[in-house]
C-alpha cells in the first residue's frame, strides 16, 4: 500500500486561515441573523411532538463508555482497536441494529516503542521529557545526534537566517486563540446556550487541535509547504524538537498532526515549560541533541461499523461518531461512541411503525488518520445509501469537563463547567430551530450554535468528511477540552451525571428531525 494513502483526486481539507475566517464571517453575519429569526418563528409555530423516546440511564451509558475505554488506546490498525471494533459489532447486533457491517479500510499501523530526547551543553547532559510526533521517521537504537539550532516558529524568514543542514531543528509550535467574547460582540450566532453565564466578553479558547505552523495535509493530498516540518526537511535537517509553546499546560503527549501521512525524519514534542529550558540552552550555543525514536510500521486494517434501524420510510437520519482514539480517549471519542449506542438503545425500543424514518448508525474508523474511515464510507456510498440520508447528526466529546491550567503546578485543573462546545449546523433554519429548542429544554451549557462553514472550511471534525464528500447536511455536536489528543483524556474528565440528560436531549432532537418534511431539508 502506498504510504501517502491517495484515496481520491478530491480530498477533504481543513485549511484554517485568519483572513478567510474574517472575510467569511463578514458574509455570514447577515445570513446568521436571518436564519436565527426564521428559526425562532418556526419554534413559535411548532406543535409538540407526539412521539417521546426515552434515553437510557446515565449508568447504562457509562457502562458502554467504560467498555470502550478499557484498553490503553484505540489506535488505528492495532490489536487494541480491533478488540473494541469487535465489541462494537457485537453490541450493535445485541441492541437490534440490522445487518451490521464491519467494513475494512487499509492503513499503516505506525507504532513507537522507545523515545528519548537528550541534550548536552557545556559538559552537562540532561534528558528532557518528551513525546514522539506521530508518523515521523524512526531511528536506530542509539538515535541520531547532531547540533541543535533554534528557528523560532520556522517561517521562511527564520530558515534564511541559519543553516540547518545535518542539524536537529528546535522550533516553537503555535496554537491559535479564538476570541469568542469579541466575536459575540461583533455578531449574533445562531444561538448561545449558556444558562450558567460562563461566556462573557473575555471568553477565549486556545484551539489545541490546530497546529498553525505544523498543519496536517489532506489525506492523499499535497504537502503543506507552510509547515515547519517540511521546511526543515527540505533544508537537510536530521530531526526536529517541537516545543508546544502555546499549550495551556506542560503536557507533551500531543497526538498530531493526525493526517495519516508517513514522514521521513524523527521528531519529538516537548512541553511548554520544559521547552523554555530547551530554548534557553540552545540559544546559548554549542548544544548537541540526541533523538531516539524506535518503532515499526506495517500494513494493517481498520473497520467502519454501521447498520440500519428500519422505520416507515427509506429516508434516513444518520447518527455517527468515530471509534478510534490516541490514548484512553474517554472524551475523544469514547463519549461519542457511547452516545451513539445510547441512541440505538433508545430507538430500538420504539416499534418500527412508530419510527417515521429509518436510522443509519455509523461508527467510523481513522478520524485520527486523516478521517480515512469517514472519507472511505462517504465515497463508497455517496451515490447509493447516503442519497437517502437527510442529515448527519454527528456526536463527539460529549459531556467533557472543562479544564484550565493550574498556575502553580502547570497541570490541568478541572472546573465546575463543561468545556466550551460548538454545534456546527448546515445553513438551514429548519435544522437550526430544533437544536435551539433542545438546548433550551435541557439547559445545555457552554455551547454555541454556528454555521457549518463558520471557519471557512467544512465543519471541523468527523462530520466535515461526510459533508465534503457526500454533500450531506449536518448537525455536528462537539466540545473542545484542552486534554483532547493527549494522555490526559481519561474517564475522570467526563461529567457522567449529565450523560442521561444529554442523551435525552439528543433523542428529542432526533424526534424533531424525524418529522421535518423532506422539502424543508
200 found inside a domain:
no
pLDDT tens digits, one per residue of 251-296: 999 999 999 999 999 999 999 999 999 999 999 989 999 999 999 9
How many independent structural domains does the chain possess?
Answer: 2
Shared domain for 342 and 456, answered yes or no, is: yes
Backbone angle region of 53, left / alpha / beta, with phi > 0 → left and psi within -120 to 50 → alpha:
beta
High-pLDDT (> 70) share of the chain, %? 98
pLDDT value, residue 325: 98
Residue whose C-alpha cell is 437527510:
390
Shared domain for 226 and 279, answered yes or no, is: yes
5 found inside a domain:
no
Shared domain for 354 and 428, answered yes or no, is: yes
Shared domain for 388 and 344, answered yes or no, is: yes
pLDDT value, residue 472: 93
pLDDT tens digits, one per residue of 237-247: 999 999 999 99
Cis preceding-peptide flag for 333 (omega within 30 of 0)? yes
Shared domain for 441 and 499, answered yes or no, is: yes
366 found inside a domain:
yes
pLDDT value, residue 122: 87
Shared domain for 322 and 226, answered yes or no, is: no
198 found inside a domain:
no
C-beta of residue 490 within 8 angstroms of C-beta of residue 330: yes
Domain boundary among 248, 270, 297: 297
pLDDT value, residue 6: 42
22 found inside a domain:
no
Q: Sorting pLDDT into bands at 50, 70 and 90, what band is 371?
A: very high
Shared domain for 288 and 406, answered yes or no, is: no
* pLDDT at position 2 over 80: no
pLDDT value, residue 240: 98
141 found inside a domain:
yes
Domain boundary among 278, 297, 316: 297
Task: Find the CATH number of the domain harbouring 430.
Answer: 3.40.630.10
**Residue 153 per-residue DSSP state:** T
pTM: 0.95
Angle subtended at Cα 90 by Cα 85 and Cα 93, rounded to the nearest 5 degrees: 125
Q: Which three cell numbers stand for residue 509?
A: 432532537
Residue whose C-alpha cell is 465546575:
416
158 found inside a domain:
yes
pLDDT tens digits, one per residue of 163-198: 999 999 999 999 999 999 998 988 889 999 999 999
* pLDDT at position 1 over 60: no
Residues 6+ apart with CB under 8 A from 110: 134, 135, 262, 295, 296, 297
Shared domain for 127 and 273, answered yes or no, is: yes
Shared domain for 136 and 276, answered yes or no, is: yes
Reduce the DSSP state of residue 447 to 3 states and report it.
strand
Q: Which three cell numbers stand for residue 399?
A: 459531556
pLDDT value, residue 187: 86
Q: Sorting pLDDT into bands at 50, 70 and 90, what band is 487?
A: very high
Domain boundary among 267, 297, 327: 297
* pLDDT at position 22 over 70: yes
Q: What's the whole-number mean pLDDT along residues 315-338?
A: 98
Range of the domain at 255: 109-176+206-297
Task: Find the CATH number of the domain harbouring 117.
Answer: 3.50.30.30
Shared domain for 481 and 381, answered yes or no, is: yes
Backbone angle region of 163, left / alpha / beta, with phi > 0 → left and psi within -120 to 50 → alpha:
beta
pLDDT tens digits, one per residue of 430-483: 999 999 999 999 999 999 999 999 998 888 889 999 999 988 999 999 999 999
Q: Sorting pLDDT into bands at 50, 70 and 90, what band is 5?
A: very low
Shared domain for 287 and 354, answered yes or no, is: no
Q: Which three cell numbers stand for residue 402?
A: 472543562
195 found inside a domain:
no
pLDDT value, residue 221: 80
Average pLDDT value over all residues in the chain:
94
Shared domain for 368 and 405, answered yes or no, is: yes
* pLDDT at position 157 over 60: yes
Amino acid at each position: 500500500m502506498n504510504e501517502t494513502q491517495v484515496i481520491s483526486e478530491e480530498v477533504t481539507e481543513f485549511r484554517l486561515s485568519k483572513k478567510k475566517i474574517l472575510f467569511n464571517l463578514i458574509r455570514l453575519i447577515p445570513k446568521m441573523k436571518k436564519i436565527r429569526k426564521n428559526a425562532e418563528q418556526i419554534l413559535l409555530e411548532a406543535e409538540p411532538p407526539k412521539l417521546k423516546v426515552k434515553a437510557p440511564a446515565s449508568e447504562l451509558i457509562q457502562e458502554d463508555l467504560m467498555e470502550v475505554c478499557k484498553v490503553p488506546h484505540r489506535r488505528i490498525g492495532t490489536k487494541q482497536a480491533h478488540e473494541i471494533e469487535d465489541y462494537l459489532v457485537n453490541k450493535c447486533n445485541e441492541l437490534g441494529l440490522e445487518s451490521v457491517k464491519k467494513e475494512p479500510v487499509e492503513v499503516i499501523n505506525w507504532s513507537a516503542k522507545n523515545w528519548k530526547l537528550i541534550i548536552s551543553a557545556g559538559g552537562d547532559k540532561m534528558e528532557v521529557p518528551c513525546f514522539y510526533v506521530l508518523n515521523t521517521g524512526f531511528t536506530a537504537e542509539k538515535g541520531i545526534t547532531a547540533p541543535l539550532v533554534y528557528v523560532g516558529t520556522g517561517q521562511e524568514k527564520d530558515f534564511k537566517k541559519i543553516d540547518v543542514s545535518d542539524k536537529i531543528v528546535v522550533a516553537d509550535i503555535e496554537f491559535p486563540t479564538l476570541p469568542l467574547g469579541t466575536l459575540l460582540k461583533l455578531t449574533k450566532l445562531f444561538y448561545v446556550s449558556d444558562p450558567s453565564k460562563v461566556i462573557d466578553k473575555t471568553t477565549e479558547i486556545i484551539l489545541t487541535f490546530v497546529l498553525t505552523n505544523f498543519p496536517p495535509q489532506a489525506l492523499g493530498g499535497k504537502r503543506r509547504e507552510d509547515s515547519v516540518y517540511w521546511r526543515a526537511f527540505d533544508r537537510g535537517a536530521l530531526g526536529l524538537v517541537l516545543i508546544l509553546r502555546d499549550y495551556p499546560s506542560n503536557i507533551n503527549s500531543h497526538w498530531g498532526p493526525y493526517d495519516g501521512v508517513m514522514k521521513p525524519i524523527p521528531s519529538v514534542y516537548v512541553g511548554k515549560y520544559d521547552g523554555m529550558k530547551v530554548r534557553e540552552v540552545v540559544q546559548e550555543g554549542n548544544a548537541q541533541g540526541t533523538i531516539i525514536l524506535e518503532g515499526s510500521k506495517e500494513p494493517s486494517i481498520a473497520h467502519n461499523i454501521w447498520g440500519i434501524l428500519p422505520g416507515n420510510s427509506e429516508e434516513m437520519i444518520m447518527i455517527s461518531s468515530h471509534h478510534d482514539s490516541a490514548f484512553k480517549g474517554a472524551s475523544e471519542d469514547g463519549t461519542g461512541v457511547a452516545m451513539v449506542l445510547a441512541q440505538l438503545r433508545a430507538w430500538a425500543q420504539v416499534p418500527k411503525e412508530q419510527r417515521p424514518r429509518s436510522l443509519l448508525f455509523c461508527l467510523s474508523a481513522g478520524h485520527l488518520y486523516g478521517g480515512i474511515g469517514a472519507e472511505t464510507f462517504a465515497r463508497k456510498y455517496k451515490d447509493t445509501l447516503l442519497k437517502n440520508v437527510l442529515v448527519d447528526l454527528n456526536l463527539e466529546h460529549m459531556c467533557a469537563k472543562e479544564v484550565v491550567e493550574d498556575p502553580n503546578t502547570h497541570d490541568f485543573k478541572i472546573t465546575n463547567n463543561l468545556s466550551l462546545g460548538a454545534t456546527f449546523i448546515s445553513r438551514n433554519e429548519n435544522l437550526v430551530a430544533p437544536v435551539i429548542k433542545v438546548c433550551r429544554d435541557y439547559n445545555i451549557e457552554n455551547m454555541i450554535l454556528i454555521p457549518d462553514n463558520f471557519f471557512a472550511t467544512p465543519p471541523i471534525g468527523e462530520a466535515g468528511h461526510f459533508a465534503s464528500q457526500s454533500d450531506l447536511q449536518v448537525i455536528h455536536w462537539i466540545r473542545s477540552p484542552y486534554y483532547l489528543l493527549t494522555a490526559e483524556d481519561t474517564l475522570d474528565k467526563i461529567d457522567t451525571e449529565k450523560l442521561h440528560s444529554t442523551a435525552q436531549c439528543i433523542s428529542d432532537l432526533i424526534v424533531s428531525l424525524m418529522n421535518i418534511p423532506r422539502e424543508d431539508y
